[in-house]
Amino acid sequence: MTSNFYDALLRRRSEIEARYRSLTPKSAAMSIEAERVFPGGVTRDSIKRWPYAPFIESGEGSTLIDADGRRITDFWFNATSLPLGYCDPLVMEAINLQSSKGTAFFASNSPSVKLAQEVLERLDGADMIRFANSGSEAVMLALRLARGATGRDMIAKFEGSYHGIYDDVSWSVGPSADTFGDPETPTAVPESAGLPTALGRVLVLPFNDLAGSAAIIEKHAQSVAALIVEPVANRMGFVLPKREFVEGLRELCDRHGIVLVLDEVISFRVGFGGFQRELGVVPDLTVLGKVIGGGFPVGAVAGKSAVMMASDPSRTHRVTHAGTFNGNPMAMSAGLATLQQLSPAVVSKLNLLGEQLRSKLQEICEGLPLLVTGVGPLFKISAIGQKIENYRDSIRAHRPWEEVMSAALLNEGIFLTPRLQGCVATTTTAGEIDALSHHFEQVLRTS
């Protein structure tokens, strides 16, 4: 029965592809051009999709205009990084003003200090901050700070969690069932070619399993510098950790002197103080990105001064952190203009909008082998008929069905990821939510 449900849409794969190609001839031609200069046709792995990604010319509000002039309603907003939508007037005003003054200086600038103050006011227990140019860079810095502060080498991360492209977190992000080993002692599976060995550097833990995680940590406690965890597990389908799981991790880190790092690159927008406040846990370090840059490349590490001061340039033996564009005034100005608009009331409104969207999708999926997950403004539709609590649950989803459904929705002018992830922005309207719900239901009915 379940197989028949998924097969119905998959039988329309050729028809859906043909329609997409007829709608997007210019994107098709540009994809061929891109293949001549980029390996695989892209310079950013995550945007690749079947049969090819649309080329976007402009965006305003919640609307994208592609190379063929199609108007597409966006529900991903550059991987959640634009909570105010495209070309927000106050953000545009801020960056236009800064660009008239200069785009980069070999010196400090006031927007960086103001954005630092804005972020620190929102994070409980965070005393200091350093800016970088991406979430990946911020993760790299956070783990280096943890190693510098503790004098230890090993990093612990969770199976199925993505923390960017730094070597020591590029393990067991999306391992296959024939490689990931025993659930209580997951195998460290490389996500990429070209990685150094994980031996002595990386431990992989089972997500949402406190006892299993603690058992692994206990064996290596004196060697572990940092434990990094997502408050909202993105690649698993915006799965939430159990409260007792996160509380237990905090206690485990305290007991063994391990630096607890929360990766809030995506989840920071879920609450005014990030999702950590909703969970009631205060980390030693928080990794940030996306929304704090207002559409510009950005990353940050914020945390307790005891750890952050390991990067103080006045110290002789310290954690170094350079970067031509760290604290770039354009990104800082855009980020400040964004966060200043994300008041508690606006965040609550966004979260309510996300809840309403998930509710509509759940109603459509009732009785079908489909699961709607998410929190705040984030949502995902998974082709699975059971609850997801960890990575091993999530890989049972029928990913080919998700990919074809995403393409079918794109034909109707609705943009989600190939895995059917999405989010709302302040520019998302009730009519756009109704359109997503309508087209999703129509594709289901015709399959």
- Both tokens of residue 187? 């195998």
Output the CA angle 53-56-60, nearest 5 degrees.
Answer: 135
> How far is it, in rounded angstroms, from Cα 168 to Cα 163?
10
Cis peptide bond N-terminal to 51, omega within 30: yes
**CATH architecture of the region 89-341:** 3-Layer(aba) Sandwich (3.40)
Each residue of 252-261: pLDDT tens digit?
999 999 999 9
For residue range 33-56, list pLDDT tens digits in order.
999 999 999 999 999 999 999 999
Cβ-based burial of 270 (10 A; exposed 0-12, middle 13-18, buried ≥19): buried
Residue 220's pLDDT band (boundaries 50, 70, 90)?
very high
- For the domain 2-75+343-445, what is the CATH superfamily, name and number? Aspartate Aminotransferase, domain 1 (3.90.1150.10)
Residue 447's pLDDT is 86
* Stated pTM of the model: 0.97
Give me the active site residues, please: 162, 263, 290
Strand partners, 348: none
pLDDT score for 169:
97
Domains 2-75+343-445 and 89-341 share a fold: no
The dihedral through the CA atoms of 207, 208, 214, 215 has a sign that is negative
pLDDT in tens, 104-156: 999 999 999 999 999 999 999 999 999 999 999 999 999 999 999 999 999 99
- DSSP state letter for 190: B
Q: By three-state DSSP, how is residue 106 classified?
A: coil
H-helix or E-strand spanning residue 97: helix 89-101
Question: What does the alpha-carbon distance between residue 428 and residue 353 come to, in Å, rounded to a whole number?
Answer: 8
- Helices vs. strands in the chain: H and E counts, helices first: 16, 16
State yes or no: pLDDT of 331 exceeds 70.
yes
Q: First vs last Cα of the chain: how many Å apart? A: 14
Residue extents of the structural domains in the chain: 2-75+343-445, 89-341
| pLDDT (tens digit per residue) in 168-184 | 999 999 999 999 999 98
